[in-house]
Structure 1
Amino acid sequence: MDNTHLFQTYSTLLFSVAYRTLGTATDAEDIVQETFADLLQAGLPPQVNNMKAYLCKIVYNKCNDRIRETIKERQTYAGPWLPEPILTDLSEQFLDRESLATAYLLLLQQLSEMERTVFILREAGGFNYREIAWIVEKTEANCRQIYRRAKQALASQPPAERLDTPHLKPLIGQFVDALQNGDLNKLVEVLADDVVFAADSGGQVKGALVPIRTSVRVSQFLMKTSSMIPHDMRTEFEQVNGNWGLVLMAGTDVLYVFSFQIVRGRIHAIYATSNPDKLAYISRQLRLT
């Protein structure tokens, strides 16, 4: 199998694993490119019985290297850190879209490095425990235990509404209408009482540097900030991280991306990304549509 065929066959899987591991699409894309560049330069070893596992092992090692390189950067990051938003309606490549949700990716980041890797390889990669054990260099029994721990840790995540839930997009529409019309009471109605608003500006754009909680406080903050948005900015509905989200644009420039966690018909979390570095990937996706 030549390098082009390998890329066509496995690049989507490798990106999916790397993105869930890192939470950064640009880094995930770089790692996939580096993996195939290394193969092109060095060639495949003579005996590779499981190409999928072999490539994922390379990606696993590169992801760990990238995580170690960015530890200091994450520790000194200005304000909340959110995963890079991505569009997920461009193809059927993301088989498990629920595991791409922003809230879910944030929970993955709270797992230990090994728990996160084993869980992603099992859930997103579809590997059996023997394959996972070879990739992470643990025993099968250890991998089973690690997977159970990770699954238990993620069980606290409330079941979010699926993309095909009929009222999902209209609910976000009500959220937008309330902001545009300055209707504070209507905005409070669509938010859960314990809603959290987290904004990732990376210190490059003016924004909240700590999460804001409760429907009243979040509504008041959003009303205040929305009144300062330029009139020529337009709001587009897009499928962001596996569910309906909002992309705010001025001309062809993406300025904000909103993703939501919706549970039982109300918005439980709002994630706003305005860090220009984190909008580069989704901006490129939008230019290709």
Structure 2
Amino acid sequence: MDMNVELAYQTYRKLLFSIAYRLLGTVTEAEDVVQDVFVSLHAADPDSIDNMKAFLGRSVTNRCLNILQSASRRKETYPGPWLPEPLYGDSGSGSEPGGRIELEEDIGYAYLVMLERLSPLERVVFVLREAYGYEYEEIGDMIDKSPDNCRKILSRSRRKMSDAGYTEALPDERKQAIVLQFVAALRQGNIPEAINLLADQVVIVTDGGGKVKSALRPIAGIGRVGAFIRGIAAKETFSHGVAPVSVNGETAMALTRIHLPQAVWCFELDQASGKIVKIYAVNNPDKLIRKYKNV
């Protein structure tokens, strides 16, 4: 690898991966985008690039935008809900379904789910402005829009995210405690105690990708979700192995069988009641069994 390309890779790879992952919601595609950008950098004459960070950011953004526009059509025919691919961290227990990717900041799972409400352009503008503080002129250059147009797109994106309940919440120790109680209750077979930790308006969303039997629509309400969990327990699914796992910087739950991941559940807490209000169950094996390299 050329010395200038190698230096750029070491300097910006984590930033570029975090941008790509926020935009795409998939680890594999984000890795591929970053790799493709650095491969193409060889042909771009690195010595002639005045602002390497801006060049790489624009390259990653353009590739992600193309993927998003194509993916939005694919998701229309996706069997059931599409959920982002979990990004595994280090909980210190060694129980992660895959390896880990180290980032300088955490990217909350519920945040990624809410980003799915945005159009590809809205998502790009929202992420670049809100998460990375890009100026409207810089964003406009990346997506071929005027600064005023970018402001309007951002306003629309913020409104959609607000309607979805998005807040810039800090890591919540109370949430970690509730999730750990939930995992412990399931591990002990105490299903009533686990259900007692759910809010009345709880919703569970499952993503099997058409490869694993999963609910094709969200299951809403304590009655239906409780019945769903009791049904899983009756099949002794929880008895095969449940454990806390670090996902997107937060405590989640992994379901395993013979030491292989069967699902990862991510959680969202109701701030008023302090109970679990959303469960995102990733069952699609393509989003679970991976060996991640450090980025």
TM-score bucket (shorter structure): 0.7 to 0.9
What's the offset of the Cα at 1:101?
2.5
Q: 1:276 aligns with which of 282, 285, 290?
A: 285
Change (3 A) 1:231 1:268: closer
Runs of at least 5 residues in structure 2 that lack an aligned partner in the other structure: 91-99
Q: Name the residue aligned to 2:93.
A: none
Runs of 4+ in structure 1 off by over 6 angstroms are none
Q: 2:103 aligns with which of 63, 68, 93?
A: 93
> C-alpha separation between the residues in 1 aligned to 2:260 and 2:169?
30
> C-alpha separation between the residues in 1 aligned to 2:237 and 2:161?
39
Runs of at least 5 residues in structure 1 that lack an aligned partner in the other structure: none
* 1:28 aligned counterpart, secondary structure: helix
> C-alpha separation between the residues in 1 aligned to 2:70 and 2:47?
28
Deviations 1:17-46 (A, max 9, x none): 111111111111111101101112443372
Q: Name the residue aligned to 1:84.
A: 85
Change (3 A) 1:91 1:207: closer
What's the offset of the Cα at 1:199?
0.8
> C-alpha separation between the residues in 1 aligned to 2:206 and 2:168?
20
What's the offset of the Cα at 1:86?
0.7
Q: Name the residue aligned to 2:122.
A: 115
Percentage of pairs with the same residue: 38
Q: Does 1:133 align with 2:159?
A: no
What's the offset of the Cα at 1:271?
0.6
> C-alpha separation between the residues in 1 aligned to 2:242 and 2:190?
18
Q: Does the CA-based 8 Å contact 1:160-1:261 persist in structure 2?
A: no
What's the offset of the Cα at 1:218?
0.6
Deviations 1:169-221 (A, max 9, x none): 22112212333444443233211111110111111112222110011211110
Deviations 1:246-265 (A, max 9, x none): 12233442221111011222
TM-score, normalized by length of structure 1?
0.87
**For 1:1-289, what aligned pairs fall within 5 Å after superposition?**
2-44=4-46, 46=48, 48-89=49-90, 93-95=103-105, 97=106, 100-156=107-163, 157=165, 159=167, 162-163=170-171, 165-229=172-236, 233-264=240-271, 265-280=274-289, 283-285=290-292
Residue type of the partner of 2:144?
E
TM-score, normalized by length of structure 2?
0.85
Q: Does the CA-based 8 Å contact 2:238-2:255 persist in structure 1?
A: no
Residue type of the partner of 1:175?
F
> C-alpha separation between the residues in 1 aligned to 2:178 and 2:192?
15
Q: Name the residue aligned to 2:94.
A: none
> C-alpha separation between the residues in 2 aligned to 1:135 and 1:87?
30
> C-alpha separation between the residues in 2 aligned to 1:158 and 1:35?
31
Residue type of the partner of 1:7?
Y
Q: CA RMSD for the aligned pairs?
A: 2.4
Q: Does the CA-based 8 Å contact 2:187-2:242 persist in structure 1?
A: no
* 1:78 aligned counterpart, secondary structure: coil
Q: Does the CA-based 8 Å contact 2:205-2:217 persist in structure 1?
A: yes
Change (3 A) 1:50 1:162: same
Q: Does the CA-based 8 Å contact 1:195-1:214 persist in structure 2?
A: yes
* 1:18 aligned counterpart, secondary structure: helix
Residue type of the partner of 1:172?
V
* 2:86 aligned counterpart, secondary structure: coil
> C-alpha separation between the residues in 2 aligned to 1:2 and 1:45?
7
> C-alpha separation between the residues in 1 aligned to 2:13 and 2:57?
10
* 2:116 aligned counterpart, secondary structure: helix
Change (3 A) 1:16 1:24: same
Change (3 A) 1:40 1:129: same
Q: Does the CA-based 8 Å contact 1:160-1:262 persist in structure 2?
A: no
